[in-house]
Each structure stands twice: as structure tokens, then as C-alpha cells.
Amino acid sequence: MLLNSHSFLLVFLPVVVALYWLTPHGRPRLVLLVGASLFFYGLWDWRYVPLLLTTTLVDWVAGRLLAGSTAEGASRRRKLVLAAALALNLAVLGYFKYRGFFVDQLDGVLYLLGMGRPLPTIRFILPVGISFYTFAGISYAVDMYRGQYPPARSVLHYLAWVTLFPYILAGPIIRYGHVGAQLESVPRRLSWALVASGLFFLVLGLAKKMLVADVMAPYVNELFAHPGRLGLWSAWAAALGYTLQLYFDFSGYSDMAVGVALLIGLRFPQNFDSPYKAVNPSDFWRRWHMSLSAWLRDYLFIPLGGSRGSTLLTVRNLLITFVLAGLWHGAAWTFVVWGLLWGVFQSVHVVAKKYGLTPGWTWLNRPLTFAAAVLAWVFFRATSVRAALKILASMVGLRGVSGEETLGVAPLFAAFIVGGLLWVNLLPNTWQITPRPRLRYAVLLGVLLAASLLALSKRSPFLYVQF
């Protein structure tokens, strides 16, 4: 089941929301929420529900042990528990997501050395949401070890947080500290304010996905499928098209997750803040996928040493952080290169800032930062590093202005690119708009909802579901 499907929007969500508010406050409501979330997750592939439950149970137990005594005698035990919890989560993620990739790389090395037959490998269907719920488990274990907040009152509270159906499939990465206390203090009754805000985020997010991202998707897919046939204009159309498609797709999902959460009385943090208005690489990552960037900062970059040491050590930490961020998105060299590029961009910015070489002109910094994002997204989307390099070669004119171009740019696609660029640069984002109880707002949302529902004629997963 998808958040952008008739079954979710017209059946599952209304039924769950109605039952949720009709169910007595407290434990019965949590039981309903967990049951609905597991049912929602199981519709993707019920075979991976036991995996989710097992890792969840282990992480909850680890959290209880880590939240125990901090006396000197318990220090060693707590470190061992933390190490075991981290090892388990990373092992599960590595086995299902990266085993095939690393076996393939080892096969390649053995082939070059003339040694033996290919190693046997097992291919799995990637458990949906595994990258997100393993990161949740890691953050919980570390936070319990640091004593940042009390542990979950029960395994039911913990399970409700991990499996929440608004974000279990594709994020955002919601930490227990964001939601844990809310699960115990959800309003007893659904207010009109929650309904209005929830529907506002839900409908706008759905419209971003169905009326913008999905309209652009076929054109983007066609261009990226033929990297060797692109000329200057079609290569730029492919890169800009995907840059906009990914933003409207993922920010649309994040908005929908916020809206659905509001309908059950929960408030999620913002995940996008007009990232294409960023004026430098650091600013971009403060605005793009904010839950992931905060996670990488708090659980990877800072533990590595952050920016506390020399400039060289800061650069090292940035490169490690972003290469691993790239690998988190997928087991492919394209993601590694994407992460490495952002590590380089961040490092250049840090060095330039230290020596006073950063220009103070927004009119220049914004387009330069946007160009860096577009360049990196080519590797993120391309089917291989070689394909990405072909597209970049066309973008810089190495194949000529027209060159070998055999794929044209449809007028509708071009219009969406221009309109999308104007949207992300001139208009406020969803969080900057205050919904008001006025007729024109209701009419606008009604029109957007009707148009979006009419566009739900085919299966169209959100892009981040695959990660």
C-alpha cells in the first residue's frame, strides 16, 4: 500500500483515524496504532514483519539496559551493550542491503587476479524501510547511552514509534525524542485545528507528488535511459528535470507524513526548508532531508571529531560522513561518488570560509550551490558512473550543442522545468504557509485533492521508498 493510493487515502487512512479517536485514550489507542502500522507495513511484504519485530525487540531491550545505572561498575557493561546493539543493526542492514554489492566487488577482484569462479550470492528483495528503522534503532541506543531522555515506558510505546505508518516506508528519520513524549500525551479529542493543518500538509504533499513529480518522471526516465544519445539541451533537461522531480517527490512524501501524523495528534519536525535557495553546501544540507543531515551530524560527524580539530581532520570527517551517507542511499558506486562529491563540496566551503575566500554575494552563491546540487544529482540518478559521465560530457558541450542528440525535449517537460525552477526559487515552502479557515483555502485544497486523486491511476511509489 502506498501513501499515494486510493486504498490508503480513501479506505485505510479514514478508517484508522476514525478508530483511533474513538478508541479510549492510552494503551488501547497504542495497540490500535501498532496493529494498523504493522498491517500497513505487512502489505508490502509480510515475510519481513518478523525481521522488523525482532530488531525492534532487541533495540528496546538494549535501550532498557543502557538506561540503567551509570555507576563506574556499570560502565563496561553499558559499552558492551551499546556495541552489541550497533553491531546488530549494522549487520542486519549490511546483510540485506550490501551483501550482494560487496560480493560483486570481490568477484571482480578475483576475476582480475584470475582466481576461481564467481562467489555464490543470494539476492534479496530489500526489506522496505530497513534503512530508516535501523537508523532509528541506532539513534535510540546511542541516545539511551548518552542519557539524553528516559527510555520508552514499554515495548508497546517503542514499537509504536518505530512502526508509525506515516514514515516507516521512507522517512523522515524521526528520533524517539521527537515522538516518544507525544505518544503519551496525545490529545483526547481531534480538534479542527489538527484536521485543518493535517489536510493542508497531506493535500499539498500529494499534489507535489502526483501533479508535478509524476508528470516529470516519464521524461526524466527516458532521458536517463539513453545517456549516450543526449546533446547539450537534453542533457541539461535530464539533470534539471531530475533535480526538480526528486525534490517534489520526496518533499511531497515528507509533507504527507507530517499531515497524516497531525491527523493522529502527532507533530513531526520539518524535513525540507527550500533547499534550492541555499547559498553554500553547508546551508544546503541544513535545508535538504533535514532529519538525515541532523542524524549524520549527531551520530557520525561529531563522534568522528566534527570540526574540533585541524582543518585537515575536519575535511577527513566530512569526506567519511558523506561517503557513508551516499552508501546509505544504495549499494552502488553512483551513490558513493554522489556522497564523495558532497564531501568535496563541503570541504572546499570549509577551507574557503577559514581563509576568507567565500564571496558574500547571494546572487552568485545561490546559483553556484544549485549547480553543485544538479551535478551531484546526475550521479545519484544515473544507472552507472559511466552513464553519469556521458551526461556530464553533454552538459558541458563536449558532444557539441546539438551533437549526437537524438532525444528531443517535450514542450510540456520544458514548461514544467521552467515552472519548477520558478517555484523552488520564488515561492514559500509548505512550512512557510499558514493555512487559514477561509473559503478560498478550502476550494484550493479541494481542487488539488480532486486533481491528485484523478492522477492516481497507476502505481507510482515515492522515490525514497527504494532506499
- Residue 349 falls in the annotated catalytic set: no
The whole-angstrom separation of Cα 115 and Cα 348 is 41
Which residues lie closer than 8 Å to 215 by C-beta, 6 or more apart?
Answer: 412, 416
Which residues lie closer than 8 Å to 372 by C-beta, 6 or more apart?
Answer: 281, 284, 341, 345
The whole-angstrom separation of Cα 367 and Cα 64 is 48
Give the three-state DSSP class for 72: helix
Which residues lie closer than 8 Å to 105 by C-beta, 6 or more apart?
Answer: none
Is-cis flag, bond preceding 172, omega within 30?
Answer: yes
Half-sphere exposure of 103 (CA within 13 A, CB side): 14
- Residue 145's identity, in one-letter code, is Y
Cell digits of residue 461: 511509489
First to last CA, the chain: 17
Which is the catalytic residue, given 157, 289, 329, 349? Answer: 329
Which residues lie closer than 8 Å to 166 by C-beta, 6 or more apart?
Answer: 3, 256, 257, 258, 260, 261, 268
Q: Are 20 and 188 in contact (CB under 8 A)?
A: no
Active centre residues (catalytic): 329
